[in-house]
Amino acid sequence: MMDYNKIWESVLDKIKEITTQISFETWFLPLKIRRIDQDLNIVYIEVNSDNRSEFIITTIKNRYLSTLETSFKEVLSDSFRVVLKDSDQYKSEEVKEEPKIKPKKQLLDKEKIFNPRFNFENFVVGNSNKYAHAAALAVAESPSEAYNPLFIYGGSGLGKTHLMHAIGIYLLENNPKLNVLYVSSEMFTNELIKALNTHKMNEFKSKYRKADVLLIDDIQFLEGKESTQEEFFHTFNSLYDSNKQIIISSDKAPNKLVNLEERLRSRFQWNLIADIQPADYETRVAILLKKAENMGINTDENPEIYDVACMIAEKIKDNIRELEGALIRVVSFSQLLNEKLDKNFTKRTLKDIFSNVERTVTPEKIKKTVCKYYGIKITDIESSKKTNNIAFPRQIAMYLIREMTDYSLPKIGQFFGGKHYTTVLYACEKIDDELSMDKNLREVIENIKEEIKD
């Protein structure tokens, strides 16, 4: 089980740093964690029912919800929604509800809090991340022997923190005595500042230098922070010299960390650098299905979940956190509203995401939709066939790419088997002319556009 007290203490520490003493005592001290739902990523916060509880709840909801959520995110390395109720409300609900959360093993030492969801089993391996995954697993299996330091980099929401936690969890499962230290660079910086202010630098130093394995997340945060870099450099060297494993993550490749001292940057180049690329479509679907299973949805009993996963994976491409967020939203809403989770429900629930399509309208999609509408093949539209049943749809497709994307005329020509830009220009002008006269064509174009955006 998670140690809620310990987590809450850490969260309070964070909050203390960013609010005044008086609001800290008035609003945050009376709270505690009731429970944490790790499948839905919800933290349930409780206030003792008394004559002030309603007031506290309203104030927190109106003013401090994001403070709470940000602090939980820092402590748990994952986004959680915060739900706030008084103890009586919880009690009356729990009488109705049977406890459905299966207890999960939680690794929680004094300093390290690993999210048990972020283990290797839950990490879906695809082309985009197989290299980073293999490196992480190798390091988890043989720390200080496989690759040291291991440097993992990739864009936001692509699984860096997940892999770091997976390494930590794996190491501790196999060797609970190992001193595994996980810290985000932000936490490292804050701790350093605190240590400096309270004259506790020796403690700080020895804490980090005693680690057998140091996982430091989001190193890009150290850019431009000279004294933290200095301290980290010494920590790094001391650990490295005594053959301790170091794992670093970053949202940029080491040579792109321009505001990091050269000597640190070159240290990172010493051993393995593994990147994570945005996941391809199949991996995105696989991640969603895995996540759905973890949320207790049986994919055999609910075949619609495949459609839902495909739909979300088509729309959200470059951030797995957002991908999961969308799934969590549809699943919890369908449970909340007691509605069947299918394509239609998904579309309605995620309307805002799906209407933000500008970036998902691609020339490929436009060509495909136009061809489907006119019942011809993509290869035809890309060919140089001049019969009207091919040439006209081709002109429509050119016109729509011109209108719905930012591609230049010559570039658009390339999408059609390398046509000259004057051909594209001619097509656009011709369709424009016809549209001004032909009401039916206007309707046709509108329909095709709707379909493209769908």
Binding residues for Mg ion, rule: CB under 5 A, are 160-161
x/- site string to ligand ADP, residues 296 to 315, per CB under 6 A?
--------------------
Of 53 and 77, CB closest to ligand ADP: 77
Write the burial class of residue 98 (CB in 10 Å: 0-12 exposed, 13-18 middle, 19+ buried): exposed
Distance CA 46, CA 57 (A): 9
Both structure tokens of 335: 């449970």
CA 413 to chain centre: 36
Q: Are 264 and 219 in contact (CB under 8 A)?
A: no
Report 263-292 residues binding ligand ADP (CB under 6 A).
287
Distance CA 354, CA 106 (A): 36
In the list 143, 149, 157, 413, the residue contacting ligand ADP (rule: CB under 6 A) is 157
User: By beta-carbon distance, which residue lies closest to ligand ADP?
Assistant: 159
Name the one range near ligand ADP by CB under 6 A: 160-168, 172-180, 196-204, 306-314. Answer: 160-168
Distance CA 5, CA 397 (A): 60
Q: Show Cβ contacts of residue 29 under 8 Å, excluding neighbours closer than 6 positions.
A: 12
Of 161 and 245, CB closest to Mg ion: 161
Of 180 and 320, CB closest to ligand ADP: 320
Of 216 and 396, CB closest to Mg ion: 216
Report 311-350 residues binding ligand ADP (CB under 6 A).
320-321, 324
Q: Is 127 in the site for ligand ADP (CB under 6 A)?
A: no
Of 8 and 153, CB closest to Mg ion: 153
Q: Is 118 in the site for ligand ADP (CB under 6 A)?
A: yes
In the list 56, 68, 132, 158, the residue contacting ligand ADP (rule: CB under 6 A) is 158
In the list 123, 153, 208, 236, the residue contacting ligand ADP (rule: CB under 6 A) is 123
CB of residue 313 vs ligand ADP: minimum separation in angstroms? 13
Q: Show Cβ contacts of residue 297 under 8 Å, excluding neighbours closer than 6 positions.
A: 305, 331
Report 57-116 residues binding ligand ADP (CB under 6 A).
78
Q: Is 122 in the site for ligand ADP (CB under 6 A)?
A: yes
Q: Which residues of 366-380 are buried (b: 16+ CB within 10 A; e: fewer)?
A: bbbbbbebbebeeeb
Calculate helix-pair angle for 281-294, 304-315, nearest 10 degrees. Answer: 130
AA identity, residue 18: I
Distance CA 353, CA 45 (A): 29
Cα Rg, the chain, nearest whole Å: 27
Of 40 and 441, CB closest to ligand ADP: 40
Of 278 and 410, CB closest to ligand ADP: 278
Residues contributing to the site for ligand ADP (CB under 6 A)? 78, 118, 122-124, 129, 154, 156-162, 287, 320-321, 324
